[in-house]
Every structure is written in C-alpha cells, then in structure tokens.
C-alpha cells in the first residue's frame, strides 16, 4: 500500500521498486537483508540489484555483510551512474562486492551496521542444523549418498500447510535438500510516465561458500527493465528467483525480457522461454533439476494495459500486485500441482490490468 501511495504522489519506478524490496528485506520471513541464510563462515552475505528501464542503468552489490538493506546500496550505485563525473575519465562502477561495496556505500553516507546484527535466531538455528548434516556426510559419505529426497506429495502437503500458516519457517516446510530454500525477493513496477524498473535481493543459499554470488548481483540474471522504445513496442520489467547458478548461466532475466518484447501474449512468451531457454538450455544440459521463478510485467502502449506475469517450477512462489486505481492488493501463494515435481514443468499464470489513464 505504501508503494502505491508513493506512485500516486509521482515517485519514479526506481523509487517504488526499491521501497518494495526494502520492506521485504526488513521482514525476518524472507531470505534477504537481516535474517538471511548464513554462509559456511557463519555470515550473512547479501546480493541485490536494480535496473532502470528509462536509462537502462544497472546497479548491484554482492556478498555484502554489513548493510540492513543491500538494495539501497545497489540503488545508490545506479543513481550515481547518471550524475557523477569521475576525474581522468574514469567510469563509475555498476557492480561492487564485499568490503569494496561497503567502503563505497559508507563514502556515500549510507550507514552500515555490525554484521552480527544481521544474523537472526532462526537463520543461526538453520545454519547449525545443516552444518551438522554436512559434517555427518563428510564423516560418513555412504549415509549421504543413501539419503532419499522428500517426495512431491510431502512437499505439496507441507506447502499447503504453509499457505494456511505463512509464519512457518522455510526450514520447517522443506524437509528435502536445503537448496530448495530459494527465498529471493523482488519487485517490478511502472510509474505514471511509463518508466519501468525492477529490483531483487537475496541472502543466497544455506551454507554457500564465502564470496559466492547469485543471480541477484549479476547483470541480466536477477533483474531487467526496459522502457518502450516506440509507440508500439512494449516495456518490460523482470525479476528472477531460483537456483542462482542456473539463472546466471542462462542470463534468465534478460532472456525473459527479450522474449516478452517479441511475443504478443505474455503467458505464451513465458512458456516458450521457460522451456526452450531454461529447461532445454544447452548451458544446463548436465543439470537434472533446474529451479527458477519469474515475476514480470509487460506494458503495451497500444492497448494501454499491463500484463502481470509469474512462472515457477519451484514448489511454491508467493506474490502480490496492485495498481494505484485499487485499494487492495491481489496476493497469492502459488504452488505446483501435486502431480508435478519441482525442477521440471513450470506453472505459468498472468493477469491483465487495464490502465485508466493513457501513458504517453
């Protein structure tokens, strides 16, 4: 609701999507900002990025350990590409990682915090649990190799329980491999001028190697936004979630955006790109279980309408959307059918929003 009020007051799409992601980073229910998954070295290391469809500028941070809202550091990087002239014709960075990102943010007046303050009780409990499992597996490899993953009926029934009680932690309702806990948060939006933007933030997978970067930190992988280039070409904004390595190898955010621009129907376009550019991608030919989720919007200037689109082959995906013309958001807890195993056939859906005012 706060973001729609901001948009009504004339804020930019960049401001809107960053504010939406900040609210998600501030929640302990998400794997972004405080409460994120812990790396092998028992630290929070966050990735985030944001893209402006008007300027096509992009800002991102990776492995950031001392900021409550990494998306704000990414936004600062994006904004300073527009108005900063460095001496000797040096180029302003669009991606910074680790201590370099922290130093740059502090030089811009963004307040850092002690890294320990980002560690939540639940994240620490999850870390200790899976750290023990790793140690057990290393001490007795046969036990690890004989472990059977949770079947889809179990995942489906527990996802239904999560839908009834969203306060259950992801650890409780994913009894299988920890790699299934892929709680990236993201937002796409359009302002009153027709400018689009996207933002994404993630704490990464449990027990990741220190310094590991996921799709949220990399260009074309976690977020993409592109304004209409003509009176007939659509504007698109995309964020992705899932297994970061898979999304990086397929540059999935940009690939989705390019396909949505060239396809008349958004759902048809997402179906095509999910199958041909992800599940059947030659870059993932040796990967058996390929996990991804997409949240996208497509503005058609001819019909003056917006398609809100989502797709996932992860067990679940939580999303919501609204326009400035309504007072209540549409929210949903999307789950794969019980007959479909995660990592394979995606669930793809969308909703068409007719705009009241003509975007010019």
- CA–centroid distance for 161 within its chain: 24
Decide: residue 160, CB within 10 A, 0-12 exposed, 13-18 middle, 19+ buried: middle
| Residues labelled as active-site residues | 184
Signed CA dihedral, 92, 98, 102, 107: sign only:
negative
- Check: CB of residue 358 under 8 Å from CB of residue 304: yes
**Kind of pairing between the strands at 58-64 and 95-97:** parallel
Sheet strands side by side (includes 46-52): 95-97, 58-64, 46-52, 196-202, 185-190
C-alpha neighbours within 13 Å on the C-beta side of residue 119: 15
Read out DSSP for 149-215?
PPPHHHHHHHHHHHHH-TTS-HHHH--S-GGG----EEEEEE-TTS-EEEEEEE--STTPPTT---G
Output the six-digit token pair for 126: 């999850």
């Amino acid at each position: 609701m706060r973001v729609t009020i901001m948009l009504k007051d004339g804020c930019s799409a960049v401001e809107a999507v960053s504010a939406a992601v900040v609210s998600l980073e501030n929640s302990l229910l998400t794997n972004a900002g405080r409460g994120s998954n812990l790396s092998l070295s028992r630290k929070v290391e966050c990735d985030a990025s944001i893209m402006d469809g008007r300027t096509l500028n992009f800002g991102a941070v990776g492995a950031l350990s001392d900021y409550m809202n990494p998306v704000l550091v990414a936004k600062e990087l994006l904004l300073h590409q527009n108005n900063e002239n460095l001496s000797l014709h040096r180029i302003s960075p669009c991606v910074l990682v680790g201590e370099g990102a922290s130093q740059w943010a502090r030089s811009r007046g963004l307040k850092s915090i002690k890294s320990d303050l980002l560690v939540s009780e639940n994240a620490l409990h999850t870390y200790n649990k899976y750290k023990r499992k790793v140690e057990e597996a290393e001490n007795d490899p046969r036990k690890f190799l004989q472990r059977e993953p949770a079947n889809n009926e179990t995942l489906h029934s527990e996802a239904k329980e999560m839908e009834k009680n969203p306060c259950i932690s992801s650890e409780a309702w994913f009894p299988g491999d920890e790699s299934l806990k892929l709680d990236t948060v993201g937002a796409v939006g359009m302002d009153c001028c027709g400018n689009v933007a996207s933002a994404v933030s993630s704490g990464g997978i449990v027990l990741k190697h220190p310094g590991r970067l996921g799709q949220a930190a990399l260009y074309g992988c976690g977020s993409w936004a592109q304004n209409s280039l003509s009176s007939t070409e659509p504007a698109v904004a995309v964020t992705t979630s899932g297994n970061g390595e898979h999304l990086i190898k397929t540059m999935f955010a940009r690939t989705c955006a390019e396909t949505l621009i060239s396809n008349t129907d958004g759902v048809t376009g997402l179906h095509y790109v999910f199958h041909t550019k992800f599940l059947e991608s030659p870059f993932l030919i040796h990967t058996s279980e390929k996990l991804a989720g997409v949240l996208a919007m497509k503005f058609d200037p001819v019909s003056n309408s917006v398609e809100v689109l989502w797709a996932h082959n992860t067990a679940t995906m939580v999303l919501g959307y609204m326009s400035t013309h309504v007072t209540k958001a549409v929210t949903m807890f999307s789950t794969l059918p019980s007959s479909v195993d995660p990592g394979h056939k995606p669930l793809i859906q969308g909703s068409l929003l007719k705009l009241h005012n003509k975007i010019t």
